A and B are shown apart, each in its own frame.
Chain A
Amino acid sequence: MGRAVEITSLNHQYGDGTVSLEDVSLAIDEGERIAVIGQNGAGKTTLFLHLNGSIRSFDDNVLIFGRNIGTMPIEKRIQNVGVVFQEPDDQLFMPTVYDDVAFGPTNMGLPEDEVERRVKEALSTVGLSGFEDRVPHHMSYGQKKCVALAAVLSMEPRILVFDEPTANLDPKNRAIFLSLINELNRSKGITTIVAMHDVNAVPEVADRVFILNRTIVAAGTPADIFSDIDLLESNNLDVPEICKLFSFLECYGCRCDVPPLTIHDAARALKRMIDRNGGSLQLSSNGNTEEEMVDLIRRFRN
Chain B
Amino acid sequence: MHYPDIDRYADLDSPVHRLEPRVKIISFGILIVFAVFAVSIPSALVFLALSVVILLASRLPVRFILHRMKAICVFVIPILVLMPLTVPGTPLFSAGPLCVSEEGLSFALLVTIRSVAAILLVVTMLGTQRFDTTLKALSMFRLPGIIVQMLLFTYRYIYVMIDEFLSIWSSMRAKGYKFRLNRFGLTMIGNLIGMLLIKSYERAERVYQSMIAKGYTGKPMSFSSFRITATDCLFCAVVAIFAIGIQVYCMEIPWEELLR
Contact = CB atoms under 8 A, between A and B. Distances in A.
B214 A151 contact: yes
B201 interface: no
B213 interface: yes
Interface residues of A, number: 35
Interface stretch (A60-68, A83-91, A197-205): A83-91
B159 interface: yes
Contact of B207 (A77, A90, A96, A103): A90
Nearest to B211: A93
Interface string A126-152: 000000000111000000000000011
A66 B131 CA distance: 45
Interface in A209-261: none
B3 interface: yes
A112 interface: yes
A138 to B, nearest CB: 8
B185 to A, nearest CB: 30
A106 interface: yes
Contact of A78 (B131, B135, B157, B213): B213
Contact of A107 (B130, B131, B207, B215): B215
Given A94-B156, A95-B155, A99-B222, A54 B206 contact: no
Decide if the interface of chain B is mainly helix, strand, loop or mixed: helix
Tell which of A78, A90, A92, A155 has the most Cβ of chain B within 10 Å: A90
Question: Size band of the B side of the interface?
Answer: 20 to 34
B214 A49 contact: no
A49 B206 contact: no
A102 B214 CA distance: 10
B152 interface: yes
B213 A54 contact: yes
Nearest to A74: B215
A169 B4 CA distance: 27
Contact of B210 (A90, A95, A102, A115): A90
Contacts of B135: 95
Contacts of B209: 49, 54, 85, 90
B132 interface: yes
B215 A75 contact: yes
A70 interface: no
B214 A78 contact: yes
Tell which of B159, B207, B210, B222 has the most Cβ of chain A within 10 Å: B210
A96 B131 CA distance: 10
A80 to B, nearest CB: 11
A270 interface: no
Interface string B115-132: 000000000000000111
Interface string B127-141: 000111001000000
Given A102-B223, A135-B132, A137-B159, A94 B215 contact: no
Interface string B161-204: 00000000000000000000000000000000000000000010
Contact of B216 (A107, A112, A116): A107
B206 A87 contact: yes
B212 interface: yes
B221 A106 contact: yes
A83 B216 contact: no
Contacts of B153: 93
A165 interface: no
A129 B112 CA distance: 48
B160 A74 contact: no
A52 B153 CA distance: 24
A106 B222 CA distance: 8
Interface in A37-85: 49, 52, 54, 74-75, 77-78, 82-83, 85
A83 B223 CA distance: 24
A108 interface: yes
B210 A91 contact: yes
Interface of A: 49, 52, 54, 74-75, 77-78, 82-83, 85, 87, 89-96, 99, 102-104, 106-108, 112, 115-116, 135-137, 151-152, 155
25 contacts: A49-B209, A77-B215, A78-B213, A82-B213, A85-B210, A85-B213, A87-B206, A90-B207, A93-B157, A93-B211, A94-B152, A95-B131, A95-B135, A95-B152, A95-B155, A102-B223, A106-B221, A106-B222, A106-B223, A108-B215, A115-B223, A137-B159, A151-B214, A152-B214, A155-B214
| Closest A-B pairs by Cβ, 6 of them | A107-B215, A95-B132, A137-B159, A90-B206, A104-B214, A106-B221
